[in-house]
Amino acid sequence: MYENKLKTLILVGGGHAHLYLIKQMISDKLKGYRTVLISSESKQYYSGMASGYIEGTYTEKDFTVDLPRICSKSAVIFIKDTVILINPAAKTLETASGEIYKFDILSVDTGSDISGSQIHGARDFAHLIKPLSNLKIIKKILIDAPVDLYNVVVVGAGAAGVEIALAIRALGIKENKKYSISIVNSNSDILKGYAKGVEHKTVDLFKRNEIKLIINQRANLIEKNYILMQSGFKIKYDLLLLATGSLSHPLYRESGFCVDDKGYMVVNDYLQNIEFPYILGAGDCIKFENYDYVKKVGVYAIREAPILWKNIKHIVDNEELEKYVPQKNYLSIISLGNKTAIASYKKLFKTGRISWYVKDWIDRTFIKQYH
């Protein structure tokens, strides 16, 4: 498959941390190694700008990275395929197209799936907001929707669900479409993990935007035009979006790795698989054996990236590895539509245009590095 005697580093998934690694490789090479990126899609979508894309603030190009293009700049071999199984002992992996690739070092940054995908009927009738490439179809359906009342139901009132529901309202205003929007949550915790003040502001905004909030209803079954909740309650929809919490792709469990209860690969403080030190990982797809508080947000994937890169280099050069200590708190900015946002840090928060401009600046600065 490969020519010459070089060893091979395989990167699986073009997530945030791997984008950083690929960029580093423009000027900094791994001695004696070739690097291969295997990713399911040629484009990497940046979630920070996802709701802005739905609402029409950003184009698809604005929030995507062209993976073959950045790989060619760094002499990284790009392969569009999905890894379905890893054999850690043989140091090989298998892809959906049936290819087997051999590696010496492996790094995984494959993100996460939507937990709601497990609900019976979800993959037949609902639209999952992940992978983010799904947003293109979702946006088209919304724009093409009949002008009369179109019933959109978003399941999941975490940050992603809140951003998407409010972005749809903003899109409706721009497109002159009357969407009836509901957001459904399995419990009463809107924006779980955020300060109460952030939750209250958001609920207030739902009222002002005529977004119906339905709490303490857990979806049990999805049929063509309605969701059946565990309580027996039925919710009708024309378009159903699932923005429920995250769950690992089955890859790690099926490869026999040590995983947590949601199937994420368990790593040590050096971002290494706890059983196979030549397999590393970053972002949503990992679970730290020593830190329980790390959330599935891009912030961590970005912060892990420099340590991941250094540790891969240290393995190559046979040097001591560096520890990564995840931060407990971070600035979070949730887009509220129409160029407004709510920025929060611990219990402090600020709503309005300034928060949105800060978010816009952070997001554009991030994506610009890879354009």
CA angle 50, 110, 124 (to 5 degrees): 65
Number of amino acids touching ligand FAD (CB under 6 A): 36
Per-residue binding string, ligand FAD, 134-173, x by CB under 6 A, is --------------------------x--xx---------
Buried-state track 62-95, b at ≥16 Cβ within 10 A, e below 16: bbbbebeebbeebebebbebbbbebebeebebbb
Q: In this complex, which beta carbon is closest to ligand FAD, that of residue 284 or of residue 360?
A: 284
Task: Classify residue 233 as exposed, middle or buried by CB count within 10 Å of its CB (0-12, 13-18, 19+).
Answer: middle
Which residues ranging from 108 to 127 are in contact with ligand FAD (CB under 6 A)? 109-111
Q: Can you tell me the distance from the alpha carbon of 169 to that of 142, in angstroms, rounded to the nearest whole number? A: 11
Per-residue binding string, ligand FAD, 283-302, x by CB under 6 A, is xxx----------xxxx-x-
Residue bearing tokens 């800060």: 358
Q: Please tell me whether residue 16 binds ligand FAD under the rule CB under 6 A.
A: yes
Q: Which candidate, 37, 46, 48, 43, places its Cα nearest to that of 13?
A: 37
Q: In this chain, which of 10, 11, 38, 71 binds ligand FAD, going by CB under 6 A? A: 38
Q: List, in sequence order, the alpha helices (H) in 44-101.
A: 50-55, 67-74
CA angle 58, 201, 326 (to 5 degrees): 70
Q: In this complex, which beta carbon is closest to ligand FAD, that of residue 301 or of residue 336?
A: 301
**Least gap, CB of 82 to ligand FAD (angstroms):** 4
Determine the interface stretch with ligand FAD among 1-9, 43-51, 68-76, 205-213 (rule: CB under 6 A). Answer: 43-51
Under DSSP, is residue 62 helix (H, G, I), strand (E, B) or coil?
helix
Determine the interface stretch with ligand FAD among 6-14, 143-151, 168-176, 271-279 (rule: CB under 6 A). Answer: 6-14
Q: In this chain, which of 8, 35, 44, 74 binds ligand FAD, going by CB under 6 A? A: 44
Q: Using an 8 Å Cβ cutoff, are 13 and 110 in contact?
A: yes
Q: Please tell me whether residue 40 binds ligand FAD under the rule CB under 6 A.
A: yes
**Least gap, CB of 47 to ligand FAD (angstroms):** 3
Tell me which residues touch ligand FAD (CB under 6 A).
12-17, 38-41, 44, 47-48, 50-51, 82-83, 109-111, 129-131, 160, 163-164, 249, 251, 283-285, 296-299, 301
